[in-house]
Every structure is written in structure tokens, then in C-alpha cells.
Structure 1
Amino acid sequence: MSKYSKLIRDNIPDLLDKNNLSYQVKILNHDQYKQGLKWKLIEEAGEVFTTDNKEDLIEEIADVYEVIEAILEANNITSDYVNLVKEKKAKLKGKFRKKLQLLNLINSEEKKDLNLSIKELETIDKAEVFLQKKVLPQANILDKDSQLLKTHFYDFNRIDSSFLRLKIDTKWQGLAMSNLGFYSWQIMIAKYSGAFAFLQTQHQSAIAFLNSSDNEILKEKYLTQIGKENYFYGVGFSHLRRKEKPLVSATVREKGYELNGFIPWITGYDIFSHFIIGATLPDGQELYGIIPFQNQNSYLELSQPLQLCAMTSTNTVTGKLNNYLLRKEDIVTIKPRNNIHLKDQENILHHGFFPLGCTFASLRIIEENLVKLDYQEIKETYFELKNQVENLQEKMLTAMVDKNVSFAEKLKLRVEAINLAHKSAIASIITSKGTANIDSHPANRVYREALVYSVSGQTLPLLKDSCYSLIKDN
């Protein structure tokens, strides 16, 4: 038995009778009727949105008119009064004839931070076209096929080299993208493929690190080579977050530093050419250098790619350093003790934009399921989650440019983003029904991506607040 829970036109029962169809209806009270009309308007507006054929469009617009007239009557509002208000608004704000699209609303106090350049906006739009056409249709395959992911990653660079140079200076052919633009980019890219988003952000992190170095010779050597002969870079310094005995130590030698220890996480094997290694000096300072991403006899031994629950195609490996000599010319920077923890606190929202993108990916699946099932409960779920993620996105982006937002407030937003990604992924699974249990189903992949984003760039405060949010009363 099919389930319907929506407002219908008055003559539908008669038509069902004539076709010998069994059905159930109920008469709504007035408040239920008014609410039902609002949902009906959303339904009909959705039909207008998805219709391209002119004749079909006319029919759907007629349905919208019919619902609006019913809403006016149910609320004792006359069409004359609505037209009067419409004309007043038109005089004050104009109509919709000039085809204008608002790209940014710039606050005078935050003008410098909020003013995305046309180049930034064009770059994001251009990248999204590639992701829609090339990445999304193969997202499930890309999650496991490293060669296909590598091909798409290199193609991405060939289409526009600025895609993989977002945060570096124009001196090095970079886009010098603002923080607001960069995090908007990260949300956008995570909508299409977690593997692709994760791979590219490793490279973006590495080149941003190189860009901040005082070693101009090193910058000339590596930043000018991005993309040439497939020169891309990864990072291998997450272990510096660990409080226990350093996993990688650095000892001063005549020609540089001798590195020894275990690297638990390096992404991009056979995709990136180099990676930035992090090591701890005897006095606790943090040493960062760049080394080739390849096995080097016994000096650097890399494992086979790890089998991850999601994004396994990004080729994450472990590494073992045995008396590896990091030469002086390959030192990116030396930072004070605990610098990584201070940066984590400063950038607590950084990894929070990926779960937002993951939520939007789940919404895409829920919306597709809504077309198939057309249940009122799915509609309510979809629009409630959509409202939540859009509001959270606005809060998080605002927090990136508002210096008055505290660490505690940003941490709370990060936890909200993680929880919303999980909630939306679960909704995408439930509304996909049994097919979501198929390994290649998009809802399955998005759910696994939400798991990854829960622990990406995890810090102790994030771990504690994430755990607390699971048990506290809502």
C-alpha cells in the first residue's frame, strides 16, 4: 500500500472513485489546513524549480496560483491587499527584471574580510562545474580507486592551475584566496566527494605551510613547480599533536638534521611528489621540512596504503625514518614548542567546514528520495535539515571573520557541524531504505565520510566536547 500524506484538490476523491481505486482521506481542522497549504506551496514550488518544458512550467505555475489563492482565503487576506503590498515593495526595492544576483553582503567593519573577489567567485564556480560533471557521477568509485582519483586530481589542475594554489601568494602564481573564500571552497568541494576533498586539502595545507616559510630559496624551488611534472605536496606532521614521547625526533647535524621515528599518517602516496615532515627537537621546538614522497632504501620506509573505512583511495601510508638527513636547504621552518596546539586552537573551525559539505551531500540524496517517495515526513526532515545546515554555515563563516567570537563558541559550532553531518547521513540512509546497505550506495559513502570528518584534525577539547554532546540533554 502506497502512503500519501498531503493536501489534495477537492475533486481527487471523485476521480479515484471513477478509476475504482481504494483510498483514505481525512478532513483537516482549520489550523491543519493552513499548515497543509504551506507545505503544498513548497511542493508546487519544487515542481516549478525542476520543470524545464514550457507547457509543463505553465501548468505548475497554475498550481502555485491555486495554492496561493487558497492560502489567502484561509487567512482572510484579499488579493487587492497583497497587490498593494507588492507595489509598495516594488517601489522601495524594485522588481526582478535586471537579473541581478547578490554575491556578498559586505559589512563596513568587516569589508576587507568579506569582500570576495570576482576571481575567487569565478574560481569556485568553475571548480564546481568540474565536480558536478566529472567527480559526482563517479564519487563512489573514486572513494576506492586511487588511480581514478589521481587522474581526476591531475585533470583538476590542468583545467585551472589556481584550483590547487588557493592560499599562496600571487608572486608564486597563487590566488591568495581570503579565509572566507577558502572555507566556502571547502564546503563546496566536500559536497561531491570526500576522497577528492580530503586529498586536495592535504595539498592545500602543505602549500600554505610552504607559503608562510621565510626560506625564499625553498619557496622558489617548490611553489613554482606545483603541477609541473605532477609536483604536488602532502603533510606528515599530525603526530606532533600527541602529548606523549615524540614519535619523530630531530638531532642537529653538520649539514642539517637527522630524523628518526615513526610517521603514523601521510596521505597521497603515488599521487604527491613530496610531503612536509614534522619532527621534535631536543628542546621541544617543532621542525618542519620537505622530503620526497618515496621509499629511500632504509632511510625512509613507507607502508602499503592503509585500508580505511572511507577515502581509502587517497593512499594514506605510514612511514619509518632511520637516520634520515634533512638538509638545511629543505627546512621549511622551525616553530616554538606546542605551536601546533596553538594553531589548532586558532583554527578550531578549519576542519568543521567539511562536515557542512557532507551534510549538503546527504541533503542531495534525501531530496532524490523525496521525489521517489513523496512522504510528508521526508519533506519535513529535508527542509528542517536544510534550514539547520544553512544557518550553521552562516554562523561558521561569520565566526571566521568576527574576531570577537571566542574559542568556546567556535568549538561549539564545530561540534554542531559534526553532529549535523551524522544526523543528515543517517537520514539519507533511512530514506534510501534497504538499498543504502549496498556498499556502492551514495548514502553509505556519505555516512562513512561523516565518520572520517568526526576525527579529522581532532584535538583534545574537540574529543571531549564531541563526547559530551552525545550524552547531554537536548
Structure 2
Amino acid sequence: MTTSPLIARAQELADTLLVPNAERVDRAEVPASHLDAIRSSGLLGVSAPEAYGGAGAPDSVAREVQEILAGACCSTWFVQTQHHTPVRMLAKSELPVRERLLRPLATGELLAGIAYAHVRAFPRVVVRATAERDGWRFDGTVPWYTGWELNDVMLLAGITDSDEIVFAFADAREQPGLRASDPMRLAALTAARTVSLELDGLWLPESSVLLRTPQEQFALLDIPRSTNTSPAVFGVAYAALRVVAENGEPETAEALRARVDEVRRKAYDLADHPVPHEHVEERLTLRTRAYDLMRAATTAAVVSGGGRTMDLRSPAQRLAREGMFLLIQGQTSVVRRAHLDALSG
């Protein structure tokens, strides 16, 4: 594990705020006060440039922060984790929106969500972007948007008739051309306030655009990235193993922890590889193995606790449901195929 003031802050938040309230949050919704605590801690700027008020921390630190938050309260983790991709993209952008938004996002003044996972379903297009009046018009349905009424801004994407993806920022609120569904009732992470968004002529100015890129170019970067293992998988696995130990089964916990540690080390070594589109099959294998170990850890937490784990106040059942959610979070067709092939064969 890495030593860093940011990691220490994340651990303090986990121990004093997130873990003690995790079951209550799971049955209700992520409170704004949780996100305010993360904002004020500086964790929203963990990967942002120091010149814009961020910490400029290495990826190893950012991953460990995400592990800690996910293992403490996966619903809170899921809302705030959306924020980091827009920050990273802004840091690489040369468009005017960088100067307008990077600093408030890096410092936590603003919290961002993302509304673009649907572009991974290409060639199926559910949100169309059309050039109009020195800006862009968006029409269609965003199937999943997390953090509604918690986020300040969202990064939205649509696809043009020429198969170009347009990423642009919008205020995360109902407005002409944008309407949200009621929050979805889900088997896990209902607390994260996930909605679908109906877009009917939402117009955003050119100044809100973060990136325009051919779909093929986006896929070249996105597919390898999506084959890496999410730190949240390890965070939930470790949290479950702590429950196993607390339930009087330290030997089981230690045996599983050693296996999780090994896969974690290999997965992060590959995540740091300088060529992201290399070793894709190995990345997929490690991601699938991490899923297996997370599932083993959460199952061990349930089994070691016996009947009391069925109580909604038990962390074991919550972690098991959160693990189920992580099986499909960020899933692409490539990841799905690899996972199903591993399960069937």
C-alpha cells in the first residue's frame, strides 16, 4: 500500500463518516454532506494538475483512494468517481472550456457527473448530436446518469451523422430540452440517485465542448482502458475480508487476501503499462480473476456471518450486492464476452 496524505484523508473519511453510515445510506440515498466532506478533503482533485488547484498525485495514489472509498461506502464512491474522468479529460484539452471548468472541478467547488457510457453501444446510437446555431443540439435518451441532484455539471456525449462523438458540458439540472426520470430502484446502489435523461433539443454552445473525436478513435482508447480492473473491485473485496475476520474466520480472510493481493499487483502493473492497447487479453484475464475473488470474498462474508447477514443492517449483504453491481459497472461487450467465456469454460 502507498503512503500519502491523500490516502490518509481518504482513510479518515472512511473510518469516521462513510463506514459508520454505510448501511443507512444504502437504504436511503447518498447525502450531500458526504460529498461535501469529500469536496473539502481535496480528494476530488487527486489527479488534477497542481497548477489548477489539484494534487497532481500519481495513479497509484488515485487508485488507492478509490479502493478505500469504494470499500467504505460504494454508493458514495460511485457518485464521486464519475467526477475524475471529466477532470482528466479537461487536463488534456486545449479548448476554452478547460479554463472555465478545470479549476472549480479540481478544487471541488463543482462536482461533475458523466452521461456518455451509451456511446460504447455503437453502432447503436441513443443520443444524436447535431450542429446548430454555433453550438450543438442533443436528442435521445441517456439510459444511466448517476448523481442526479447531487452533481453540479455533467459531461454529455452524442454521436453525429458522420460518426463523430461530441463531448460537452451541461448543467446537471432540468432545463429546456432535458428531463430526468425518477431515481431508479436498483438491487444495489439505489442510493447513488441514478436516473435516465430524456433529451429533446438540448442546445449547448460551442464553448461547452470538451472534445470532438471520431468514434473509431475513441474506441481505440476506450476499449483497452475498460479492460483494466476497477480499484473498487479490490476495495469491496478487502472490506468483505475484514468482515470475514471480524466474524471469527481470520485464516479464511488471510488466505483470500493473499490471492487478492497478487491479482491486484499484476492488474495495477498492467494499468501502468505505457502502451494501453497492449496485453489486452492479460488485462481481461486479470479483471475476470479479480471478479472471482471479489465474489469469493463477499460470499465468505455472508457465510461466516450466518443468518444475521440477511439483516439489511449487516455489511455482509450490502457488500455482496455492491459486488454484484461491480460485475457490470463499466462493462463493454469485450469485457462481457471475456467474463462469460471464463464462467462457461
Aligning the two structures, in what range does the TM-score lie when normalised by the shorter sequence? over 0.9
* Inter-partner Cα distance in structure 2 for 1:261 and 1:291: 15
* Distance in 2 of aligned mates of 1:264 and 1:397: 30
SS at match of 1:318: strand
In structure 1, what residue type is equivalent to 2:283?
K
Q: d(CA) in 1 for partners of 2:28 and 2:120? A: 30
TM-score norm. by structure 2 comes to 0.94
Report the equivalent of 2:192. 314
Residue 326 in 1 paired to residue 197 in 2?
Answer: no
Report matched runs for 1:393-432 at 5 Å: 393-403=264-274, 406-432=279-305
Aligned position for 1:192: 72
Query: How far does the alpha carbon of each residue in 1:158-205 deviate from its partner, in whole angstroms, 9 at most, with x for none?
Result: 2x2x21012221121111222222222222222211112111111112
Q: Is the 8 A contact 2:228 2:267 kept in 1?
A: no
Secondary structure of the 2:142 match is: strand
Matched, 1:445 2:323: no
Pick aligned residue for 2:238 from 338, 360, 363: 360
Q: Secondary structure at the match of 1:347?
A: helix
Partner residue in 2 for 1:347? 225
Q: 2:52 aligns with which of 148, 172, 193?
A: 172
- In structure 2, what is the Cα distance between the partners aligned to 1:228 and 1:402? 29
SS of 2:222's equivalent in the other structure is helix
Residue-by-residue CA offset, 1:350-408 (whole Å, 9 max, x unaligned): 453211111101101101101xxxxxxx4442221111111111111222223476111
How far apart are the structure 1 equivalents of 2:38 and 2:187?
A: 25
- What is the number of equivalent residue pairs in this alignment? 343
Residue 98 of structure 1: aligned partner: none
More strand by share: 2
For the residue of structure 1 that corresponds to 2:27, the secondary structure is coil
The amino acid across from 1:153 in the alignment is: L
Q: Report which of the two structures shows the higher radius of gyration computed on alpha carbons.
A: 1
Answering whether residue 10 of structure 2 is matched by residue 127 of structure 1, we say yes
Q: Give, as a single letter, the amino acid of the residue that structure 2 aligns with 1:285.
A: E
What residue ranges of structure 2 are gaps of 5+ in the alignment? none
Distance apart, 1:228 and its partner CA: 7.8
Q: How much has 1:312 moved relative to structure 2? A: 1.1
The 3-state SS of whatever aligns with 2:324 is helix
Distance in 2 (CA, whole Å) between partners of 1:348 and 1:442 is: 28
Offset at 1:346?
Answer: 2.6
1:243 shift after superposition: 2.9
Distance 1:269 1:352 in 2: 23
What is the SS of the residue equivalent to 1:295? coil
Compared CA separation, residues 439 and 388, structure 1 to 2 (3 A): same
Please give the per-residue CA displacement for 1:277-320, whole angstroms capped at 9, x wherever unaligned: 010011101100000111114x1111111111111111111111
Q: So what's the TM-score if we normalise by structure 1?
A: 0.69
Indicate how the Cα distance of structure 1 residues 320 and 427 shifts in structure 2: closer, same or farther if over 3 A, else same.
Answer: same
Give the direction of change, closer, same or farther, for the CA distance of 1:470–1:321 in structure 2 (3 Å limit): same
CA shift, 1:327, in A, is 0.6
Match of 2:24 among 141, 154, 165: 141
Which among 120, 128, 133 is matched to residue 254 of structure 1? 133
What CA RMSD, in Å, does the superposition of the two structures yield over aligned residues? 1.9
CA distance in 2, matches of 1:182, 1:230: 19
The question of whether the paired residues in 1 share the 8 Å contact of 2:138 and 2:199 is answered with: yes
Higher relative contact order (CA 8 A, sep 6+): 2
CA distance in 1, matches of 2:230, 2:18: 22
Mark the CA change 1:380 to 1:147 in structure 2 (over 3 Å): closer, same or farther: closer
Provide the C-alpha distance between the structure 1 equivalents of 2:105 and 2:272, rounded to a whole number of angstroms. 29
Does the C-alpha gap of structure 1 residues 251 and 146 become closer, same or farther in structure 2, counting only changes over 3 Å?
A: same
Q: Measure, in 2, the Cα distance between the counterparts of 1:347 and 1:414.
A: 12
Deviation (angstroms), 1:337: 1.6
Q: Name the CA distance, whole Å, in 2 between partners of 1:338 and 1:193.
A: 36
For 1:196, the aligned partner's letter is T
CA distance in 2, matches of 1:138, 1:350: 30
Aligned residue type for 1:141 = R
Percent of aligned positions that are identical: 21
8 Å Cα contact 1:167-1:178 kept in structure 2: yes
The 2-side partners of 1:353 and 1:341 are apart by 22
Alignment partner, residue 264 of structure 1 = 143
**105, 112, 115: which is aligned to 1:233?**
112
- In structure 2, how many angstroms separate the alpha carbons of the residues matched to 1:229 and 1:413? 33
3-state SS in 1 of match to 2:37 = helix
1:143 alignment partner, SS class: helix
Partner of 2:121: 242
Note the alpha carbon deviations across 1:205-240, whole angstroms, 9 max, x for none: 22222222221x312221222388952110000000
**Are residues 469 and 192 of structure 1, via their aligned partners in 2, closer, same or farther at CA, if it must alter by over 3 Å?**
same
User: 2:67 and 2:30 mapped to 1: Cα distance?
Assistant: 25
Confirm or deny that 1:182 pairs with 2:62: yes
In the alignment, which residue of structure 2 is the partner of 1:390? 261
Are 1:348 and 1:410, in contact at CA under 8 Å, matched by a contact in 2? no
Distance in 1 (CA, whole Å) between partners of 2:30 and 2:225 is 32
CA distance in 2, matches of 1:439, 1:347: 35
Q: d(CA) in 2 for partners of 1:369 and 1:232?
A: 38
Q: d(CA) in 2 for partners of 1:166 and 1:293? A: 22
